Homo-oligomer: A and B are copies of this chain.
Amino acid sequence: MNELELIETIRRRAGRPFRAGMLAGIGDDCAVFRPSPKRGDLVFTTDLLLEEVHFRPATHSAADVGHKALARGLSDIAAMGGRPVFCLVSLAVPDWAGARWIGGFYRGLLSLARAHRTLLAGGDLARARQFACDIIVCGLVPRGAALRRDTARAGDEIWVSGLLGGSALGLALGRGAAWARHRRPAPRIALGVSLRRLGATSAMDLSDGLSLDLHRLARESGVAAAIDRPLPVFHGATLEQALHGGEDYELVFTVPPGRKIPGRLHGVPLTRLGTMVAGESGAVWFFGRRLPRRGYDHFRAGATPGASARRA
């Protein structure tokens, strides 16, 4: 299969542009999108998915990899309280990934895309030694309503969605419900929209572990975070996995003090963790003790390709 044939296959599978406003998709130099003036702000995210860093060809199916590549981008859209509109996919393909594997990759990706009404509108293809996928997702939020990281205030309550540590546990076990969760994370799109409507003051998604991601949220907002309630730990996971394990793709968010938040929304449990407090910007306190940042840092001394796959 040559490049033109491969692009034709992808274009056929992606289908005709079905979103209002998408004027041109796969096949031109650019995708063309006409924003509706009534529909608000656009949000954009880009996320890499790398062989040995974010998945292993031996244990993750092609469809798993396609699902996860898009799920990472959709999770960022969810963290802004947005709804996805379209995505672009850049793919660097090594020799071990033949036409059948690439077909499986797009099957996994497009299945998740359809479930979230996200159009595959374009991308790029190249050969490489190491598999790399970069996913770009464009989403919509009402004007001025995007949930940001830098808008939490001292006194706000800190909440988290779902159960933590499941992805890290799944990676360690390689089987069962936790493994399914690691392979096929569920982006919290509907939840993000509801949290925005409930008046959340900030939000971000948990990709690198609660300890590191909550630090980032607190630091961008110029406050400290104090956790003083039990974490919602995934069944069988350790507290370490729940605190520092990456790739749970849940949402951590803040709400004004006393705001009524349901215990479960769109089938996902919501748990209060603690309170944003004045103090050293970015500090995270766990039952009164300083929490070390042990989430995954790609550029930490000693971090090497593959380390993320052992990030728990």
Contact = CB atoms under 8 A, between A and B. Distances in A.
A23 interface: yes
B299 A29 contact: no
Nearest to A202: B28
Interface stretch (A58-66, A142-150, A234-242, A270-278): A142-150
Given A53-B127, A121-B44, A132 B92 contact: yes
Given A48-B90, A299-B3, A205 B29 contact: yes
B303 A146 contact: no
A138 B42 CA distance: 12
Contacts of A77: 30
Number of copies: 2
Interface in A145-187: 146, 148-150
Interface in A4-30: 4-6, 23-24, 27-30
A30 B143 CA distance: 15
Nearest to A293: B4
Interface stretch (A33-41, A106-114, A255-263): A33-41
Contact of A126 (B1, B53, B143): B53
A197 interface: no
Interface in A82-99: 82, 88-93
B27 A45 contact: no
Q: Which of A44, A90, A148 has the most CB of B within 10 A?
A: A44
A29 B297 contact: no
Contacts of A90: 46-48, 90, 134
Given A28-B220, A32-B42, 9 more contacts: A3-B300, A4-B216, A27-B150, A29-B149, A44-B121, A46-B136, A127-B305, A134-B134, A136-B136
| Closest 4 A/B residue pairs (Cβ) | A37-B37, A134-B134, A30-B43, A29-B79
11 contacts: A1-B299, A2-B301, A27-B220, A30-B80, A31-B43, A31-B45, A33-B42, A34-B40, A35-B35, A52-B129, A132-B132
